[in-house]
A and B are shown apart, each in its own frame.
Chain A
């Protein structure tokens, strides 16, 4: 495995000067230093030398995570204008805003690895980098906002809490901040569904329909089954991933079933039942062909999500350019005056 001595431009909180790499290869002892840091459960920090594959894998994962936060603004943003009370409108605006904030924290973490945010955003826009498939499902009713908070954010939190101990320092720190802020997201979703399921007949039907539609896609958020997840073992060895896809999925199911009972809503799986022997809930087979279709771009909203994102970016180009031009002009004026 080749170790890349990364000393490129200054990125993120990778403070330092722009010095050229001497030979592109780290001395042999650095391989041991990286392994020793991992073995000690110590954090890898931006300017440490690290295997190129570790760096690339992190960039891909953090970027995908950041893109997911940003695209995730759209399905819920779809209901800001129609939220059924002013209190719900305020909560939803704050939540969608948090998602933008979380995307920004994550892009900043990715930038410490030597990439530009602009390049990552380009890769999202051109389809070379992905975002979580769950956001390719439509929010058809207000209850979907509740289901996203309860199930989608619940699944996301299950995935994210272990990432707070990820081996890469900037990613772990970003996740600590994200997890702290997200604790209200899942609760507000649960509260929406609880209110609906205890409301009128129409409201309860709306809540059940949303849960029916979001349950299986939420389980798919944990990724393919372990036997079918090629990169998992390596991510575990690197301390990026702490638990397997199936372990996390099981943890989510075990946590969610009792909550569904408190809501008075059913989960759309006839095979869902407590297994005393395993000490876990059993659940039915997940239709992963659907997940792979959505990943390929054939989900209900793939095209709309990308068109919305690209459209906003293109519509804002004149603003970004104007701000650059203004900054250049004023920097020159300041220099001229000095």
Chain B
């Protein structure tokens, strides 16, 4: 008896100029135009945004938990990428 649902869309909101779009949640809509409008009504009704993206959830490619170790662990030991790795003599500024 389960009826077909409208597709799922992920919503990204830019809270104000100068900030990136941030994932806010998801919703169902028959197509992109309606998804954008539903996103406006659902996720910005208290003035939370100045710009919106909607992306069909099925169009997003994401890393999976079983890829977590090879994807992210190798970055953990490259401490020389961070400024705190380096010794700076006392008194040297603007470095």
Contacts and interface: CB of A to CB of B under 8 A. Distances in A.
Contact of B5 (A101, A118, A174): A118
Contacts of B62: 14-17, 47
Contact of B27 (A11, A97, A108): A108
A108 B64 contact: no
A15 B60 contact: yes
Contacts, number: 80
Interface residues on B, range: 20 to 34
B30 A327 contact: yes
Prevailing SS type, chain A contact patch: helix
Interface in A14-43: 14-19
Prevailing SS type, chain B contact patch: loop
Interface string B44-62: 0110000000000110111
B28 A117 contact: yes
B2 A122 contact: yes
Interface residues of A, number: 37
A104 B42 contact: yes
Interface of A: 7, 10-19, 47-49, 97, 101, 104-105, 108, 111, 116-119, 122, 126, 174, 177, 181, 317, 320, 323-324, 326-327, 330-331
Interface of B: 1-6, 8, 10, 23, 25-28, 30-31, 34, 42, 45-46, 57-58, 60-65
8 contacts: A15-B62, A16-B61, A17-B61, A18-B58, A104-B42, A323-B31, A326-B30, A331-B31
